[in-house]
């Protein structure tokens, strides 16, 4: 299994563009399943029930293993595919884009139509918040108070994300490090405290990159 980082939609945005009085309105939503994506599409169709077209595309999964797009009545490959291509080129996953079109009375032709759907999707993506997911290790460091201060200074110097700190008769610091850095961080802390420390691994998973 590859542990390469990848991008996801964190917060959806919206944007609008116009050509010859035809309006193209893009809405984006983070989704983790195809059911969530379809629910969002249906929501947009209800909201813009009076629009002629609600075209969409979504990409789900680290490896983009779930993909779908729809022209919703527009000429073949002039709407859904251009929207999908924006997602494909951006590398953003877990994202659904719906572009609503209000017809302005003038036929645009296949080329301009495709460009406008792509432009709306691109503007919508620029108005959204994208996050990078990195594969990392969440672990807990437990030590006495004196070593706890040393450990915290080390973590801050290394730019390692401190998730939480608990104070009892000892100090417990819950942190997250990049997967590739974990063993070195562990060795450094053991050395720093002369082995007067307990380090317990909690989980390995993809996390939002807080350094980005």
**Tens of pLDDT along the chain (212 residues)?**
467 889 999 999 999 999 999 999 999 999 999 999 999 999 999 999 999 999 999 999 999 999 999 999 999 999 999 999 999 999 999 999 999 999 988 788 889 999 999 999 999 999 999 999 999 999 999 999 999 999 999 999 998 999 999 999 999 999 999 998 899 999 999 999 999 999 999 999 998 886 65
> What pLDDT, on the 0 to 100 scale, is given for residue 209?
81
| Coil, strand or helix at 132 | strand
Number of domains the chain is built from = 2
Q: Using CA atoms, how far apart are residues 11 and 135, in angstroms rounded to an integer?
A: 21
Domain match, 25 and 123 both: yes
**R_g of the chain computed on alpha carbons:** 23
Q: Using CA atoms, how far apart are residues 48 and 44, in angstroms rounded to an integer?
A: 6
Domain match, 40 and 110 both: yes
Domain match, 154 and 114 both: no
Q: Using CA atoms, how far apart are residues 103 and 60, in angstroms rounded to an integer?
A: 30
Domain match, 79 and 121 both: yes
Which of 127, 142, 174 marks a domain boundary?
127
Domain extent, residue 185, equals: 134-208
> What pLDDT, on the 0 to 100 scale, is given for residue 175?
94
Report CA 129 to chain centroid distance, whole Å.
Answer: 8
> What pLDDT, on the 0 to 100 scale, is given for residue 211?
62
Average pLDDT, the chain: 93
Whole-structure pTM value = 0.81
Residue of 94, 203, 67, 197 whose CA lies nearest to 144? 197
Q: Max CA-CA distance within the chain? A: 77
Which of 83, 98, 127 marks a domain boundary?
127
Give bridge partners of residue 31 from the DSSP assignment: none
């Amino acid at each position: 299994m590859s542990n390469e980082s990848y991008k996801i939609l964190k917060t959806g945005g919206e944007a609008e563009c116009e050509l010859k009085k035809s309006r193209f309105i893009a809405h984006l939503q983070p989704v983790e399943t195809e059911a969530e994506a379809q629910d969002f599409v249906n929501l947009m169709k209800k909201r813009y029930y009076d629009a002629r077209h609600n075209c969409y595309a979504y990409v789900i999964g680290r490896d983009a293993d779930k993909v779908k797009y729809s022209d919703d009545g527009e000429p073949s490959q002039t709407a859904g595919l251009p929207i999908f291509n924006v997602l494909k080129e951006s590398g953003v996953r877990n994202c659904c884009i719906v572009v609503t079109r209000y017809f302005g009375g003038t036929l645009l032709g296949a080329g301009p139509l495709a460009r406008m759907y792509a432009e709306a999707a691109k503007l919508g993506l620029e108005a959204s918040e994208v996050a990078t997911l990195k594969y990392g290790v969440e672990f807990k460091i437990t030590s006495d108070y004196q070593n706890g201060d040393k450990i915290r200074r080390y973590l801050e110097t290394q730019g390692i994300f401190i998730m939480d700190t608990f104070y009892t008769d000892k100090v417990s610091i819950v942190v997250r490090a990049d997967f590739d850095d974990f063993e070195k961080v562990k060795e450094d802390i053991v050395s720093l405290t002369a082995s007067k420390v307990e380090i317990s691994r909690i989980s390995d998973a993809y996390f939002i990159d807080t350094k980005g």
